[in-house]
């Protein structure tokens, strides 16, 4: 384990405390469902703002697919608190007998897709959706998940880098690290072992329960590999997809990691990456928000590690292949890459000692090691134990109803979105309580 040049600078300047304060924002997608577990027939909630203008609570591909986003927070705890508060706003706005489906894979879909309304909040979105559906089955747009957006602490960048090029390369290094160890996150937090009815075509589905359908080849429809050699290659690769028509728009690039910042990907090399978007987490059905503290804390620790440590040669194809194999493993089986996972967790433990991350980091790693030793403790392993007649409907509805009931007990839930009010991030932070 060797420090990178940047890592050596961080320690030399005694700035390692800034590794625990990465700006973070979280986005969560979930389907609205009826009391019987089918896609909701209720219209978009009228008292939580206009989905065309309210970027904090909106729709995704389908009218029933909600997406909430937090303003940028300065710690995992603050981000998760924002997420709970905004989730409660959404849940309080749902109709009587309407719930948020807690699983990444959709509930049973109707055979007649004409009964499924596509979200068309803008002319641009309508055009994109219509064209996308010419290339893909509608089912491929239905999986939901969690996206975590993380920035390098700006004080580190200001003090230890001299320009856009250096900053971009740090983000590339972090992106490569998350792609390389994506299989670890899929093993620990994969949570889509099966699908309900009418998702797969006949004879298409896996023949057994898996760790994560969503994170496998059976997941979201658009498959287009990026190029994470450097930021110029990343931008050129997406431009190539747009030119050839393989991508319909920049946001059609559904990589598990994306570089974000400027208005256009083409501006990344000159204006610089501002944050990375991590899109490899399934919804955790035991969390009312879809993600738990351990998952966010692990992402933070991994981000710090990738910034500070030297890594070996990166291969996107190898990383993708490894993740695919883990995603399609049976939930109760030991991972075929168990040794690599254990080695990496030990490296994270040694790193946590170096940067004095605190006992919480070591407690987290101990909990993760338990999941490695016993696959039944992983999220997929726990979820598989609830499968009944090749379905998770009963479990999912139980969780959805429980979370809905809990949200009704929350006090001082923000009502400011009524009437279509639109708030900038800082105002929303003040409303939620910074």
**Average of per-residue pLDDT values in the chain:** 94
pLDDT digits (tens, 9 = 90+) for 94-112: 999 999 999 999 999 998 8
Please tell me the predicted confidence (pLDDT) of residue 173. Answer: 98
Q: What is the pLDDT of residues 404-420, one digit of tens each?
A: 999 999 998 988 888 78
Q: What does the pLDDT read at residue 381?
A: 98
Q: Is residue 221's pLDDT more than 70?
A: no
Mean pLDDT over 287-291 rounds to 98
In percent, the amount of the chain with pLDDT more than 70 equals 99
- Give the Å distances, CA to CA, from 420 to 45, 55, 156, 288, 416: 11, 11, 39, 25, 9
Q: CA-to-CA distance for 96 and 98, rounded, in angstroms?
A: 6
Percent of the chain scoring above 90 in pLDDT: 84
Could you read off the pLDDT of 26-83 as tens digits, one per residue? 999 999 999 999 999 998 998 898 888 889 999 988 899 999 999 999 999 999 999 9
Do residues 29 and 67 touch, judged by C-beta distance below 8 A? yes
Q: Are 83 and 25 spatial neighbours (Cβ–Cβ below 8 Å)? A: no
Contacts of 254 (CB under 8 A, 6+ apart): 220, 222, 223, 224, 279
Assess whether pLDDT exceeds 90 at residue 205.
no
The pLDDT tens digits of the residues spanning 108-132 come to 999 888 788 888 677 888 888 889 8
Q: Are 102 and 290 in contact (CB under 8 A)?
A: yes
């Amino acid at each position: 384990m060797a420090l990178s040049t940047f890592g050596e600078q961080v320690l030399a300047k005694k700035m390692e405390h800034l590794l625990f304060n990465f700006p973070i924002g979280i986005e969560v997608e979930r389907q609205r469902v009826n009391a019987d577990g089918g896609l909701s027939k209720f219209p978009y909630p009228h008292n939580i703002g206009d989905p065309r203008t309210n970027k904090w609570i909106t729709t995704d591909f389908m009218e029933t697919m909600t997406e909430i986003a937090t303003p940028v927070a300065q710690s995992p705890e603050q981000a998760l608190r924002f997420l709970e508060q905004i989730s409660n706003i959404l849940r309080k706005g749902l109709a009587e007998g309407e719930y948020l489906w807690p699983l990444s894979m959709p509930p049973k879909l109707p055979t007649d897709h004409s009964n499924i309304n596509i979200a068309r909040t803008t002319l641009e979105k309508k055009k994109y959706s219509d064209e996308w559906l010419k290339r893909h089955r509608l089912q491929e747009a239905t999986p939901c998940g969690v996206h975590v957006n993380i920035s390098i602490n700006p004080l580190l960048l200001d003090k230890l880098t001299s320009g856009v090029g250096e900053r971009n390369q740090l983000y590339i290094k972090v992106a490569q690290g998350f792609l390389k160890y994506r299989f670890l996150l899929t093993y620990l937090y994969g949570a889509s072992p099966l699908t309900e009815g009418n998702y797969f075509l006949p004879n298409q589905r896996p023949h057994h329960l898996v760790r994560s359908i969503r994170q496998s080849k059976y997941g979201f429809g658009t498959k287009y590999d990026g190029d994470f050699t450097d930021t110029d290659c990343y931008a050129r690769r997406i431009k190539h997809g747009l030119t050839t028509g393989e991508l319909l728009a920049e946001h059609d690039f559904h990589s598990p990691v994306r570089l974000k910042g400027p208005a256009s990907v083409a501006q990344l090399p000159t204006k610089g990456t501002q944050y990375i978007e991590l899109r490899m987490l399934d919804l955790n059905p035991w969390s009312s928000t879809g993600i738990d503290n351990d998952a966010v804390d692990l992402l933070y620790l991994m981000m710090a590690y990738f910034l500070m440590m030297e890594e070996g040669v990166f291969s996107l194809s190898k990383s993708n292949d490894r993740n695919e194999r883990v995603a399609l493993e049976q939930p109760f089986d030991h991972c075929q890459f168990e040794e690599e996972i254990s080695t990496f967790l030990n490296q994270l433990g040694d790193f946590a000692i170096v940067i004095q991350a605190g006992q919480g980091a070591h407690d987290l790693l101990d909990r993760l090691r338990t999941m490695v030793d016993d696959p039944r403790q992983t999220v997929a392993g726990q979820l598989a134990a609830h499968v009944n007649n090749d379905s998770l409907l009963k479990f999912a509805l139980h969780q959805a109803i429980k979370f809905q009931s809990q949200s009704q007990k929350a006090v001082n839930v923000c009502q400011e979105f009524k009437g279509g009010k639109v708030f900038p991030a800082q105002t929303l932070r003040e409303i939620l309580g910074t």
